A = this chain, B = another copy of it.
């Protein structure tokens, strides 16, 4: 009776879940500790056993983290999508608030990219005696 160890198995260990999801083992246990994930069933010896439901949950969390949601936001969304899966409006609220903050971060980064690119370009690797990077960073407080 070999337990299938490749991906797609019904019940998997924490190590397999980790490989499958790209989430660190320690992080999975951390998520359990802070109640992002429910405590999974255990084997007789105390090892965690995960099924498809847990896999989906973790994938959701992972994905949301990648999209820059905080764990608190994700917790809220999970709660909404959980027993009821009812109020899309609430999810919309969280997601669009997040979208706004993403857009502001984005425009900051664009400005930053411009400044950095200009600066790095001007500083042609030691040709000039004074370094424009240092000068720009020095002076740019109210530019």
By a beta-carbon cutoff of 8 Å, the part of chain A in contact with chain B is 56, 59-60, 62-64, 66-68, 77, 80-81, 85, 87-89, 91-92, 95-96, 98-99, 102-103, 105-106, 109-110, 112-113, 115-117, 119-120, 123-134, 137-138, 140-141
Contacts and interface: CB of A to CB of B under 8 A. Distances in A.
Contact of A141 (B62, B95, B124): B62
A contact face: mostly helix, strand, loop, or mixed:
helix
A128 B85 CA distance: 12
A63 B141 contact: yes
A36 to B, nearest CB: 14
A19 B18 CA distance: 46
Contact of A116 (B62, B89, B99, B123): B99
A126 B67 contact: no
B115 A85 contact: no
Given A109-B109, A120-B96, A123-B95, A85 B131 contact: yes
Contacts of A77: 133-134, 137
